[in-house]
Structure 1
Amino acid sequence: MIEGLKFDDKGLITAVVQDAQSKEVLTVAYMNEESLHKTIETGETWFYSRSRQELWHKGATSGNVQKVVSIKADCDQDALVVEVLPAGPACHNGTISCFTNSIVQNEDAIGSVDIIPQLVNIIRQREMDMPEGAYTTYLFEKGIDKICKKVGEEATEVVIGAKNRDVQEVKWEAADLIYHLLVLLQEQKIDVYEVLAVLKSRHEEKRASTKNNE
């Protein structure tokens, strides 16, 4: 597949680096054939610096390496999407992504699944810092019994809302349930993506079973 890729006149190809779990775009960099080969061989991202004119291994200094999950080429074979599991921030400014400056943001857009990784990070940070007055701090201070109680209460509220055919109530209570469930997962030190992996595995097993029975 590398042989079919189209590098530009400087021997480079654009590499869009994306979080394999959250699907957030982390950065855009460039690879030449050598850095791409190193990326494939080592399982971690290597790029070519146009300013320094040399290869660089992401995380070699900071420790914020990126474990490669997949590399995909576009239909024209002149750009790559590299899905990774980052060990830390992708940006030299210390942010998770280099793309932090919004130019256009439609607040009414549907499909804001990126709120899940944002909430996960906030909840994790709350447990570490335990800021006074924060509700999440209160839950962690009270412990597992309180957290479990809140998950149960919010689940019940979702059921009640559904039985009453109250769409607005179901949305609000479902949001509360998801938040408290994320707090529970953090208390248990279970990554939400591990839960999603279980769902994916079940789906793939069921799909394979259905196909085999056709």
Structure 2
Amino acid sequence: MKLSDLQDIDFKNVGGLPLPVKAVLLLAILLAVIAAGGWFVWKPMLDELQKAQIEEWGPDKNSGLRGEYESKLAQAANLDNYKAQLKEAELKSNILLQQLPDKSQMEGLLTDINQAGIGRGLEFELFKPGTEKPSALYAEMPISIRVLGNYHDLGAFAADVAKMSRIVTLSELSIVNVNVNIKDSKGAIQGKLAMDAVAKTYRALDKGEMAPPKKKGAPPKRGGK
């Protein structure tokens, strides 16, 4: 079929047109319908589909509603594990808190530290409790100490403190020679040393000392004064 044949088509008498001409006309009509449908019907539908896909998957295919759902689903699957870990942490916390003396027992603990040094033949030049530093559940009390003795007795004293039933730690340690000879427990002559340290003790807070939980602010009033 030639282009000149199309120019000679009588559109008022389509039924009488040759079959090849009818086929070309039908194809042209279908293409026009498809193009019109694509622009006016399918394009808006595709835009909506793309919008829905972004909402479901997110622009990076992992941050939309599906990604959020899968993340929460994974969290739900691990919920029992999280609960077990929390229970274990609470148990450890309670065990540690039970090792802390209360306020009424602190004086006895300080006496125990002092007696541990005296029991090793050490001489206290300084034993000065500092200011307590409270936290959420316990208070820390630093004690500045300076003790004199030989090397082995100082080491034994530090070991005795570490083995106490209550939590006591030694920090900021420094040992210097004071140029004095002394006899150890076996009668041997040894140089006298001075050990400076900060012994940190901890006590459980009384209920009255714990900070009350923060209250949520009241919602603002609407209208009126």
Where relative contact order (Cα < 8 A, 6+ residues apart) is larger, the structure is 2
Same structural fold, with TM-score higher than 0.5 when normalized by the shorter chain: no
Q: Which of the pair is proportionally richer in strand?
A: 2
TM-score by length of 1: 0.23
Which of these two proteins has the greater Rg computed from alpha carbons? 2
TM-score by length of 2: 0.22
Q: Which of the pair is proportionally richer in helix?
A: 2
